[in-house]
């Protein structure tokens, strides 16, 4: 295959795709055949071109690598967590790539006994990812799962923690969508995929038997719905969730009497979402029923489908999660683009966890104990590393348990601040900046804008040692919160999906303009970064405003939107129609064609682009970024 200074030049083979908007020629469609030797040859040449491009920069790469490494304490351990009489912790060792999971009978001995060493499991594999890690109620067994090729197909095993030896039980092709133990530790529930790579079936496995004898207890046949399984925090109920992008349905099984069929809580209906948690003598239900930003209901244990209001809906306060403890609830919500935690007692009085720092992230940490008066939570920001706290529910006393070490960094050198940009339609859009404290808004700094903006996923400010190496060199780093995410409530999401998707790209471009206008970035020296659906954002932004950007990092970008969404035989396409629309019908056919990055590549100057893809990626096929780069 020929090449030039810009990289490999892919061959073009005419291929006509029928579309509602008219037939189109896709000359790089042939790349979707991974069994074609020319496909692999082209991908190999792209990798070689990338390596050759970076080769002259080896010295800088080494400097950055060593600098970042010097700022990370490789030998470290998490705060020990008590569960069923054992103290659990995860530790890392210098020179080892993966975590080591341990436990002990006291806090002081929590690192003494290794129960799972990911480094040993990863040995001999080019790729390793730990999936499920689920201790049985009797604390004797560990269900663990690993993916060794990046396909997200996990092989599940059960380890006897008394001997450290895995049982003969081996369950292949399990999903990431959860596990749950029965009360007596005799049965394990797990999820598998259908042929479209959709988590679709829940199975019951009896410990000590062959996986071929496992019983499928639920199968979801509607391709819009994903299935998950979990155990309530009380340990009393196994919950099976079936969720589409707009609707949900829950089923319950008693964890102590788990051989019965699961019982539906409330039959699914269009645009009704709900999720159950068990609160001792009742269920707590998080739902959008008559509440766009969700409210909290309660239901009798013997009649979980009959709901009465517990906590009212507040417009703009998007409740994302509720966790139940014996004496209280903890609510996680997003308010004005800021995550918050709130404790609710049995008498329904509430206590916000006030941190007083903006912008920041706050979330629950590991809290496996059901009956406890101490709540663990974690915080971080772009200038403050992850910190674990515990707070007494009764007194409000708060203690810092651990702050992630940051050797060779003076955190006082940096500052972060929230700003607002004005999008094309006049909407105010939040974004967060991290920069050197002594930086001046004189319009000379390079900048990088990061965004996602899809699926109502909210991106809180997080700490990154590697990011600070950019900031030290004078960069401004920007975290954008465009519509399509959930940072400002459900309507923020709704105004950035389907036919409103263009708002996401306009918001990010407006943020870049605002950063330049405020003097925090130099015009012509600003980059944009995003992955997966965030890669779609990247591709659309540079098509709409190519002159605005001069650098792009697109990680496994979803860029061939119309072609992928037009083919229901492609894995996960049907489940995505509620997010993007079905281009086989209007108005989505025209709307998607207007922003699909691959379809809108034209002969013009583009910024420098670094794009990645994964040959075994189950979500964004490798050929999407490959075709996009070839066409550009």
The domains found in the chain, sorted by start residue, are 80-117 (no CATH), 125-278 (2.130.10.120), 410-623 (3.40.50.1820)
Q: Using an 8 Å Cβ cutoff, are 393 and 493 in contact? A: no
Half-sphere exposure of 41 (CA within 13 A, CB side): 10
Residue 1 sits at the vertex; the CA angle it makes with 10 and 599, to the nearest 5 degrees, is 5
**By mean pLDDT, which of 349-358, 513-522, 526-535 is the weakest?**
349-358
Residue matched to tokens 């799972």: 116
Task: Report the 3 state secondary structure along 90-132.
Answer: EEECCCCCCCEEEEECCHHHCCCEEEEEHHHHHCCCCCCEEEE
Long-range contacts of 118-122 (CB under 8 A, 24+ apart): 121/146, 122/97, 122/98, 122/148
Is 144 within 8 Å of 132 (Cβ atoms)?
A: yes
Q: Copy the structure tokens of residue 243.
A: 């969720």
CA distance 112 to 133: 19
Q: Which residues are CB-contacts of 274 (< 8 A; sequence separation ≥ 6)?
A: 248, 250, 265, 266, 285, 286, 287, 288, 289
Percentage of the chain modeled with pLDDT above 90: 94
pLDDT for 199 beyond 80:
yes
List the Cα angle 144/150/151 in 5-degree steps: 85
Buried b (16+ CB within 10 A) or exposed e, 563-589: bbbbeeebbebbbbbbbbbbbbeeebb
Q: Are 296 and 276 in contact (CB under 8 A)?
A: no
Structure tokens at 164: 């450290």
CA dihedral 541, 547, 552, 554 (to 10 degrees): 30
Whether the bond into 350 is cis, omega within 30 of 0: no
Report phi then psi at 289, rounded to 5. -60, 110
Q: Which residues contact 498 (CB under 8 A, 6 or more apart)?
A: 579, 580, 581, 588, 591
Strand locations in 124-164 (E): 129-135, 141-147, 154-160
Q: What is the pLDDT of residues 20-63, one digit of tens each?
A: 999 999 999 999 999 999 999 999 999 999 999 999 999 999 99
Q: What is the pTM of this model?
A: 0.93
Beta bridge partners of 318: 334
Give 217-242 pLDDT, tens digit per residue: 999 999 999 999 999 999 999 999 99
Chain centre distance of CA 620: 14
Using left for φ > 0, alpha for ψ between -120 and 50, and beta otherwise, residue 150 falls in: left
3-class DSSP state of 352: strand
DSSP structure class, residue 288: -
pLDDT value of residue 3: 46
Find, among 250, 191, 249, 199, the residue nearest to 223 by Cα.
199
Tokens of 77: 């351990």
Cβ–Cβ under 8 Å, residues 241 and 250: yes
Q: What are phi and psi of 211, to 5 degrees?
A: -65, -20
Q: Enter the tokens of residue 522.
A: 């130099």
Q: Determine contact, residues 53/362, Cβ cutoff 8 Å.
A: no
User: Stretch 365-390: mean pLDDT, rounded?
Assistant: 95
**Cα separation of 225 and 356, whole Å?**
39
Q: What is the pLDDT of residue 570?
A: 86
Two structure tokens written together for 511: 């943020």
The tokens for 491 are: 């309507």
> Cα dist. 604→98, 609, 631 in Å?
44, 14, 12
Q: How many CB atoms lie within 10 A of CB 510?
A: 23
544 phi-psi bin (left φ>0, alpha ψ -120 to 50, beta other): alpha
**CA–CA dist 421, 507 (Å, integer):** 8
Q: Which position has the token pair 């029965």?
A: 182
- Position 5 scores a pLDDT of 59
CA distance 142 to 130: 13
Measured in residues, the chain has a length of 632
Distance CA 551, CA 541 (A): 12
The residue assigned the tokens 């020629």 is 25
Of 109, 41, 152, 302, the closest CA to residue 616 belongs to 152
Q: What are residue 174's DSSP bridge partners?
A: 154, 192
Percent of the chain with pLDDT over 70: 99
Determine the average pLDDT of the residues in 200-226: 97
**Residue 33 structure tokens:** 């055949």
SS3 content of the chain, % helix, strand, coil (to 5): 20, 35, 45
- Segment 347-369, tens digit of pLDDT: 889 989 978 777 999 999 999 99
Q: What is the mean pLDDT of residues 452-466?
A: 97
Q: Which two tokens stand for residue 345?
A: 């007692």
Average pLDDT, the chain: 95
pLDDT tens-place string over residues 401-458: 999 999 999 999 999 999 999 999 999 999 999 999 999 999 999 999 999 999 999 9
- pLDDT the model gives residue 572: 82
595: its two tokens: 């922003």
Instruction: Give 257's strand partners.
Output: none
Query: Which pLDDT score is estimated for 357?
Result: 73
**pLDDT higher than 50, residue 1:** no
Tell me the C-alpha distance between 505 and 536, whole Å: 9
- Give the C-alpha distances (Å, rounded to integers) separating 44 from 53, 332, 383: 14, 45, 39
| Predicted confidence (pLDDT) at residue 109 exceeds the cutoff of 90 | yes
> What pLDDT, in 10s, does the model give residues 281-338?
999 999 999 999 999 999 999 999 999 999 999 999 999 999 999 999 999 999 999 9
């Amino acid at each position: 295959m020929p090449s030039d200074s810009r990289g490999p030049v892919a061959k073009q083979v005419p291929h006509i795709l029928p579309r509602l908007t008219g037939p189109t020629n896709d000359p790089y469609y042939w790349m979707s055949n991974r069994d074609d030797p020319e496909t692999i040859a082209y991908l190999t040449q792209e990798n070689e071109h990338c390596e050759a491009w970076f080769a002259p920069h080896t010295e800088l790469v080494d400097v950055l690598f060593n600098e970042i490494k010097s700022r990370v304490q490789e030998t470290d351990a998490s705060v020990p967590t008590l569960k069923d009489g054992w103290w659990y912790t995860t530790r890392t060792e210098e020179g080892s790539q993966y975590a080591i999971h341990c436990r002990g009978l006291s806090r002081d001995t929590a690192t003494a006994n290794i129960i799972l060493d990911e480094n040993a499991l990863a040995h001999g594999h080019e790729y390793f990812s730990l999936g499920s890690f689920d201790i049985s109620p009797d604390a004797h067994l560990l269900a663990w799962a690993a993916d060794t090729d990046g396909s997200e197909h996990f092989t599940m095993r059960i380890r006897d923690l008394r001997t450290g030896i895995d049982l003969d039980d081996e369950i292949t092709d399990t999903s990431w969508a959860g596990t749950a133990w029965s009360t007596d530790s005799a049965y394990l529930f797990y999820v598998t995929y259908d042929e479209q790579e959709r988590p679709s079936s829940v199975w019951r496995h009896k410990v000590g038997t062959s996986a071929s004898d496992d019983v499928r207890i639920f199968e979801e046949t509607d391709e819009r719905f994903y299935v998950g399984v979990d155990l309530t925090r009380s340990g009393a109920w196994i919950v099976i969730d079936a969720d589409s992008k707009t609707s949900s349905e829950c089923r319950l099984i008693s964890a102590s009497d788990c051989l019965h069929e699961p019982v539906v809580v409330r039959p699914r209906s269009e645009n009704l979402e709900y999720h159950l948690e068990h609160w001792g003598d009742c269920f707590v239900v998080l739902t959008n029923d008559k509440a766009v930003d969700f409210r909290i209901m309660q239901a009798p244990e013997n009649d979980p489908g009959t709901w009465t209001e517990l906590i009212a809906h507040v417009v703009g306060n998007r409740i994302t999660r509720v966790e139940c403890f014996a004496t209280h609830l903890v609510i996680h919500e997003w308010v004005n683009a800021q995550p918050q935690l709130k404790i609710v007692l049995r008498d329904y009085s509430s206590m916000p966890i006030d941190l007083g720092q903006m912008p920041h992230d706050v979330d629950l940490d590991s809290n496996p104990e059901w009956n406890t008066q101490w709540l663990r939570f974690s915080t971080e920001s772009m200038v403050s590393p992850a910190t674990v706290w515990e707070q007494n529910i009764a007194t409000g006393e708060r203690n810092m348990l651990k702050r992630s070490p940051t050797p060779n960094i003076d955190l006082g050198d940096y500052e972060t601040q929230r700003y607002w940009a004005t999008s094309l339609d006049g909407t105010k859009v939040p974004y967060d900046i991290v920069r050197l404290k002594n930086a001046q808004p004189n319009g000379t700094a390079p900048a990088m804008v990061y965004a996602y903006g899809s699926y109502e996923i909210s991106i809180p400010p997080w700490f990154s040692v590697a990011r600070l190496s950019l900031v030290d060199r004078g960069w401004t780093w920007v975290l954008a919160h465009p519509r399509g995410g959930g940072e400002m409530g459900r309507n923020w999401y709704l105004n950035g999906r389907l036919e409103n998707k263009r708002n996401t790209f306009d918001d990010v471009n407006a943020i870049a303009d605002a950063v330049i206008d405020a003097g925090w970035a130099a015009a012509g020296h600003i980059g944009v970064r995003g992955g997966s659906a965030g890669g779609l954002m990247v591709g659309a932004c540079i098509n709409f405003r190519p002159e605005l950007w001069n650098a792009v990092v697109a990680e496994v970008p979803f860029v061939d939107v119309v072609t992928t969404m037009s083919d229901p035989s492609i894995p996960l396409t049907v489940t995505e129609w509620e997010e993007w629309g079905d281009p086989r019908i209007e108005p989505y056919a025209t709307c998607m064609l207007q922003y699909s990055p691959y379809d809108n590549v034209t002969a013009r100057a583009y910024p420098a682009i670094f794009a990645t893809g994964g040959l075994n990626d189950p979500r964004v096929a490798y050929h999407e970024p490959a075709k996009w780069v070839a066409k550009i």
